[in-house]
Structure 1
């Protein structure tokens, strides 16, 4: 992935809103929250002003005026620059067209689940599947509410989130079926390892070779 002058994804979010019209940071945050972008991007709102300052430093946005609303402090309004538009488009092209390793926490847990034993893993998978089902239901409801209000172009990220949640739930159910039916190869040896701490012979030989 390209090393960017402003690599914080909040910078991408800022560029997306000032691409539409000039805004001050408070308005940027309000628009992004209203559109639920904090669900799509890892946004830390406390760094908003720092990110805007960095975008200005590198010529991606520029201040056009300061406005005062009642007794509130002055707020600087920013607009996107030609360089900012080029950066915004290039960033989106990269995100859409380039596969980047994004190891999720679930995968990390799966890689270590041998320490839990199959029975505890079964319980936890059932728990996770229940949570995934709740999330699928909520995401479908959100999509159903938004479809009459917005063009599909602006809902594809919601569709993607739903598809990924459904896919994880399907995989987790299939794996759970293997565990509960005993069809998973090596499950008996895994259960013995959890109870005794003794590695199966074939796995023990592999560990010794690596050492």
Structure 2
């Protein structure tokens, strides 16, 4: 993966949003929520303004005008620059084509879960399984609602991806919980940790 001048994925969302039309950060945040993008990009108001500042400094966006309204603070409207367009398309091509190594917290926990007692880890896995089931149900409801509104599949593709990942993890956790509950794992764990806990 190429090292980016602005490497925060939120910058990608800002560039893509400004491809639609120039806008101020408050409007960007409003649209993220309206389009459900807050599930794809972790941000706060301050982090959004920070990324906007980084993109402007890098020359990827430029201030177009400042709106003054006595009822609200000044709002600077930004537009994507030609350099920003090139960055957006190059970054998107890279992310779509090249798998990247990610370090999810659950992966870290799996690499160390043997430190927990057998019955406890089994119970925790069952809790995770219930949580994943609830998440999958919520994603399905979002997809169904979008389809009922007549949204084309490409507007729901990130939800479909989330559902695929959650279902895959759910299947894995279900199998792991069964394995942990097996007598062979219990005996191996007790033999290994005898006298260590």
Matches within 5 A, 1:94-133: 94-133=94-133
1:181 equivalent to 2:182? Answer yes
SS in 1 for 2:72: coil
Q: Distance in 2 between matches of 1:134 and 1:176?
A: 18
Instruction: Report how many aligned residue pairs link the two structures.
Output: 196
**Alpha-carbon deviation of 1:82?**
1.2
1:22–1:78 CA contact under 8 A, matched in 2: yes
Correspondence for 2:192? 193
Correspondence for 1:152? 153
Alignment RMSD (CA, Å): 1.7
Q: Distance in 1 between matches of 2:86 and 2:6?
A: 13
**Alpha-carbon deviation of 1:193?**
3.0
Correspondence for 2:22? 22
Q: Summarize deviations over 1:103-139 as a string: whole Å, max 9, x none.
A: 2111111111111122211111111101111111111
1:117–1:194 CA contact under 8 A, matched in 2: no
Q: Distance in 2 between matches of 1:73 and 1:6?
A: 27
Q: Summarize deviations over 1:138-175 as a string: whole Å, max 9, x none.
A: 11111111123321111111000011001001011111
1:9–1:43 CA contact under 8 A, matched in 2: no
Unaligned runs of 5+ in 1: 199-211
Provide the TM-score with structure 2 as the length reference. Answer: 0.92
CA 1:138 to 1:6, structure 2 compared with 1: closer, same or farther past 3 Å?
same
Correspondence for 1:80? 80
Correspondence for 1:209? none
Provide the TM-score with structure 1 as the length reference. Answer: 0.87
Unaligned runs of 5+ in 2: none
Correspondence for 2:40? 40
SS in 1 for 2:181: helix
**Alpha-carbon deviation of 1:191?**
2.4
